[in-house]
Amino acid sequence: MHNELIPFDPARDPQALAASGALDGNVAQFAQPRGPDLLRRGAALDAWCTLRARHGVWPYARVLEGPPEPLATVAGGDGPARRGINFASQDYLSLAAHPAVAEAAQRALREAGPHSAGSAVLLGNTRLSQQLEASLGELLGLGQVVLFPTGWAAAFGAITGLVHGADHVVIDALAHASLRQGAMAATRNVLVHRHLDCDHVRELLARIRAQDSANAILVVTEGLFSMDADSPDLPLLQHLCREYGATLLVDVAHDLGALGPGGGGAIASQNMTGRIDIVMGSFSKTFATNGGFVACAERPARRQLQMYAGPHMFSNALSPLQAAVALESLRIATSAEGDGLRADLLRNAVELRALLAGAKLHCPGAPSPIVPVWTGSESAARIAGMLLARDAVFVNPVEFPGVPLGAARLRLQLMAHHSPAQLRRAAGLVAAACERAGAGRPPALAGAERYRA
Ligand SMILES: Cc1ncc(COP(=O)(O)O)c(C=O)c1O
């Protein structure tokens, strides 16, 4: 049968798996298929995905059965559904399981129903979405907030809604796809700077301003990079933007709520609350639902986003359920209870990193909900991910286009409710899987130098 799963046989070693071809290739190879037949020219991609799925190294095949908690049931990998330790879901403060969040969702369902039934400009706003805007504005110290149906939409909408073809974007080499695609859609004047390298940002800003003083420049970065768990120097970036008449946008999808004093993320940790030009983020990592936002201090920018950010104007507004869940999650994240959950999360991050470092694994970045474990080769990430799933430890093997080619890794994402015993058990199994998979060490060059723009 064509789609039949070939169960991974523990007796077979990774070399045998390699012979199947399921460890070869990468998504980049199939990105530009040729020919007039739009529906069939992806056949080679289809065959490649099918081969990987049959050998249990295709993460798309997995499904979660039940809630995304530290102990979760996952089906559809290389065998029957397994209950195991889950580092593959994003629920940093464990709010998806919080009774008050569930109660807020039920109340919204009772009182407003499941559907916003229109874009924000066409009666899609609700009391809940207005309260959510106000609460976000308070946390960020930025009074002008626009909501979006997803974080992706917020990133894409922020850039395409504000930047036009004569403007310039200067963007970190490792910025999320939503930001990069937004930049490319907004203007051809996109310059990529080396990861976290403020000297390079300065150089590019100076180069642009030497030729063009008439148009805008948007500098784009993240509060906590989603694959490398590191953060830029935000005061310096904002200072450079002032110096060169540019505007700074920081994507706080992974750090807002989960890190920083009061849940204010990397921006609060760097004492920049209310002092960043544009902040955008997502509810999908810490705030237990789908949705995103863009915030700034200037009303003209808000008006522009409302009118010209396509994913806001031309997409259904957040449902009352989503708004209620995000609002209640935000309330908890900014309360004393949130401080406690963040402390648990950070303790878990420090503990897991120490365990993995003790096993001689390389984990880039600093303690945060994201713990990347370097494998280098895509095949090593695939094998390690599969071996771990077999041991009922669920992680996300990440390869191109999520990260550069040859910089594959396992991404473990922590929750406040992971227990010390779960971390200990997982760390041992991660180390064993990486060794068996032949995970490599990163090149000697560290940090910014590893990624040439
Ligand atoms: C840095 C960053 N920005 C934006 C997004 C998009 O957020 P969402 O998943 O809510 O669409 C993500 C999620 O993958 C992300 O990691």
Instruction: State the distance from the centre of ligand 1 to the C-alpha of 365, rounded, in angstroms.
Output: 18
Over residues 143-172, mean pLDDT: 98
- pLDDT of residue 296 exceeding 60: yes
Q: Would you list the domain boundaries of the chain?
A: 53-86+337-450, 99-333
Q: Are 124 and 117 in contact (CB under 8 A)?
A: yes
| pLDDT the model gives residue 2 | 40
Mean pLDDT lowest for which of 72-81, 160-169, 292-301? 72-81
- The domain defined by 53-86+337-450 folds into Aspartate Aminotransferase, domain 1 (3.90.1150)
| pLDDT the model gives residue 11 | 45
Residue 292: CB within 6 Å of ligand 1? yes
Per-residue model confidence as pLDDT tens digits over 378-393? 999 999 999 999 999 9
Helices 299-308 & 151-162 angle (0-180, nearest 10)? 110
- Asked, as a colleague might, if the bond just before 67 is cis with ω within 30 of 0, I would say no
**Mean pLDDT of all residues in the chain?**
93
Residue 222: CB within 6 Å of ligand 1? yes
Over residues 104-132, mean pLDDT: 96
In terms of Cα–Cα distance, which of 291, 304, 327, 195 is closest to 247?
Answer: 304
Residue 180: CB within 6 Å of ligand 1? no
Over residues 119-137, mean pLDDT: 96
Task: Classify residue 74 by its DSSP letter.
Answer: E
Instruction: State the distance from the centre of ligand 1 to the C-alpha of 253, rounded, in angstroms.
Output: 6
- pLDDT of residue 446 exceeding 50: no
| pLDDT the model gives residue 60 | 87
Q: Confidence class of residue 17 from pLDDT cuts 50, 70 and 90?
A: confident
pLDDT above 90 as % of the chain: 87
Residue 95 makes CB contacts below 8 A (sequence gap 6+) with 101, 286, 287, 288, 329, 332, 333, 341
Residue 265: CB within 6 Å of ligand 1? no
For 162: left if phi > 0, alpha if psi spans -120 to 50, otherwise beta; the answer is alpha
Percent of the chain that is helix, strand, coil (3-state, to 5)? 45, 15, 40
Over residues 441-448, mean pLDDT: 60
Over residues 427-443, mean pLDDT: 91
Q: Are 216 and 167 in contact (CB under 8 A)?
A: yes
Over residues 202-221, mean pLDDT: 98
Q: Confidence class of residue 444 from pLDDT cuts 50, 70 and 90?
A: low
The enclosing H or E element of 378 equals: helix 378-390
| pLDDT the model gives residue 448 | 43
Residue 152: CB within 6 Å of ligand 1? yes
Measured distance CA(132)–CA(126) in Å, rounded: 10
What is the SS3 assignment for 279?
strand
If one residue of 176, 181, 396 were mutated to test the ligand 1 pocket, choosing by the most ligand atoms within 8 A of its CB, it would be: 176
Q: Are 278 and 217 in contact (CB under 8 A)?
A: no
| pLDDT the model gives residue 441 | 80
Residue 288: CB within 6 Å of ligand 1? no
Per-residue model confidence as pLDDT tens digits over 238-256? 999 999 999 999 999 999 9
- pLDDT of residue 450 exceeding 80: no
| pLDDT the model gives residue 12 | 55
If one residue of 284, 294, 396 were mutated to test the ligand 1 pocket, choosing by the most ligand atoms within 8 A of its CB, it would be: 284
- pLDDT of residue 193 exceeding 90: yes
Cα 216 from chain centroid (whole Å): 27
Measured distance CA(95)–CA(68) in Å, rounded: 10
Q: Give the end-to-end CA distance of the chain in Å, rounded to a whole number.
A: 45
Over residues 296-302, mean pLDDT: 98
From the candidate CATH numbers 3.30.160.270, 3.40.50.720, 3.40.50.300, 3.40.640.10, the one assigned to the domain spanning 99-333: 3.40.640.10
| pLDDT the model gives residue 3 | 41
